[in-house]
Copies of this chain bind each other. A is one copy, B any other.
């Protein structure tokens, strides 16, 4: 008797989701909610609760001003081919798969279980039955995509490399692991279900097999920023609210000034207008040492109360810090307090859109937790929006005693795409 496939073989992610993907996608005018919010949420598996989905196509890439999802899988990849055509083919394939997965569909048209038994499935299957879970997939291009370490033009793109897209300078106290730094391409997958984020990266990596290899990847288990006024500010592993002065989706003017690349920013990078730069930094926290500091010292280092996140000068979380207010033997917000060092007022008004995540990657060699903040920030120009702030922090910030940056990367994140375009297409036109 030959093998017979029953009903069992035909369950697909699509099938389980049915037509009722619930949508709560309101991340700004450019993210259009699909379907209607009053449709019933999908029935089924443990994670099939009401979850939003976000359009992959639009004026901007999703995953920047989208309300920060709870979980992250970030991957940096190197291109292993010399062929510009193969690189473009990959970006086309990634676009198709990303658009599918962000709606809750399998990565490929056939799906994880509906195809021929004689072929590998075009989806790996671990997301069968899971909802879209607010998945966003955001792609970026690293400096090394344009010129290799010897300065060679790898794909005929060198004359389009933005001036601002150069390796970040070495900062004081950087202890970078080359195996956790750099990369030709990046994929930021954010979702409210970690299995959905992992599934997205894994399937994009699978599609890239032969064209790319993974240079490093990072899971984040808890968001540390809010990117919308509708979200509470979460806590980092110091136990503090972080990113209170974040640029948020609702601040159209601040986004134009601080996040989106403008049309007159760089004559050689017209393809990047409307995009942004993504700064990724893997920042280990020495949390065991931190946990032994008195509460007052912790708050003095940060410049905020640990409870509400209000500045030590008083008020509520969102109150403007009063850096002149006197305290005992000096200003109440100390000269080396984090909130003062990185405050936009100290940097010509420069603000970032932060989108970081807490991570714990097991144990370090000394028996401490290998834990900290995977810092992700979007800026209009890293030379003015990130480097001066990071230099000031590295030199003067009281928190630096408890931080060790072990990974670093910079990527140019192209704008969104219209129908029939592939991600980053303008770079190749």
Interface residues of A (CB under 8 A from B): 1-12, 44-47, 70-71, 73, 75, 112-113, 115-121, 124-129, 179-180, 194-195, 198, 201-202, 205-206, 209, 213-219, 221-223, 231-232, 234-240, 287-288, 291-296, 298-299, 305-310, 312, 314-317, 325-328, 332, 358, 360-363, 367-369, 371
Contacts and interface: CB of A to CB of B under 8 A. Distances in A.
A213 B125 contact: no
Given A291-B120, A294-B120, A295-B113, A214 B4 contact: no
Contacts of A216: 362-363
Contacts of A213: 367
Contacts of A295: 113, 115-121
A2 B317 CA distance: 20
5 closest pairs, A vs B, by CB?
A125-B239, A117-B296, A8-B308, A213-B367, A194-B221
Contacts of A117: 294-296, 299
B217 A369 contact: yes
Contact of A235 (B128, B234, B292): B128
A118 B328 contact: no
Contact of A240 (B125, B129, B287): B125
A248 B296 CA distance: 48
A216 B361 CA distance: 10
A298 B326 CA distance: 69
Contacts of A219: 219, 221, 360-362
B367 A46 contact: no
A105 to B, nearest CB: 15
A124 B291 contact: yes
B215 A2 contact: no
Most chain B beta-carbon neighbours within 10 Å: one of A46, A238, A325: A46
B362 A1 contact: no
15 contacts: A1-B332, A3-B296, A9-B307, A44-B232, A46-B232, A112-B239, A116-B294, A118-B295, A127-B235, A198-B222, A202-B237, A216-B363, A217-B363, A217-B369, A219-B219
Contacts of A47: 70
A11 B306 CA distance: 9
Contact of A325 (B1, B9, B12, B316): B1
Given A112-B306, A362-B361, A328 B3 contact: yes
A363 to B, nearest CB: 5
Nearest to A111: B307
A292 B129 CA distance: 22
Contacts of A332: 1, 3
Given A214-B363, A360-B217, A362-B219, A369 B202 contact: yes
Contacts of A75: 363
A345 to B, nearest CB: 21
Given A209-B288, A360-B73, A232 B3 contact: no
Nearest to A364: B214
A46 B70 contact: yes
A45 B232 contact: yes
A231 to B, nearest CB: 7
A195 B222 contact: yes
Contacts of A293: 120
Given A119-B294, A124-B291, 19 more contacts: A3-B296, A6-B305, A6-B310, A7-B308, A8-B309, A9-B308, A11-B308, A45-B234, A46-B232, A112-B306, A118-B294, A120-B295, A124-B287, A198-B358, A198-B360, A201-B369, A202-B371, A206-B291, A214-B369
